[in-house]
Structure 1
Amino acid sequence: MSTIRLVVALIFLAAGLVIGVLNTQPIVLKLLFTEIPTSSGVAIILSLLFGVLIGGLIVMATMVLPLYARLRKANKVQASAASSSLPPTPGTGP
């Protein structure tokens, strides 16, 4: 499995290098209070990276965290049901 991950990582690295090499035109990113001079390749790569990060955070907030909370609740219910159905252990009673 780690070999597949390595190959995929190398493919994405090569794609990033190709994008960076083919897009060398200088541009200026004008933000609210500042301007950042950069190349168009760097701007493309950074915008893709930020898009992936923001998308991942949205999926985590809307899918992963609610499902994780439901799983914890189900585990607590199952644990309490299992502990209440266990017979008393000898020597602990009066």
Structure 2
Amino acid sequence: FYRGDYHIDVCINDYLDVYCPHYISPVLDERAERYILYMVNYDGYSSCDHTAKGFKRWECNRPLLPNGPLKFAEKFQLFTPFSLGFEFRPGREYYYIC
């Protein structure tokens, strides 16, 4: 998603799967794409700035894994048993940038 009004509608208990860049054929390590994905507020999203009130959600830093792409799953849930988990509220908007 690049420079557009992209959004998805989700419900509580839905999942969002994020697949990181992955290379099957040989590629120089320094040319392989790597990303850090941040959750930000609306201002951070509109200015593409994670520094004000953003925090790191995932790091796509292993594009040459031999067994496939790195995948992260976000579960949209009201409560989480995990200390690093995130709790979502219905009707609110959440923003990700990389």
Q: Shorter-chain TM-score: which interval?
A: under 0.3
Structure with the bigger percentage of helix: 1
The higher radius of gyration belongs to 1
The structure showing larger relative contact order (alpha-carbon pairs under 8 Å, at least 6 residues apart) is 2
Structure with the bigger percentage of strand: 2
TM-score normalised per structure 2: 0.21
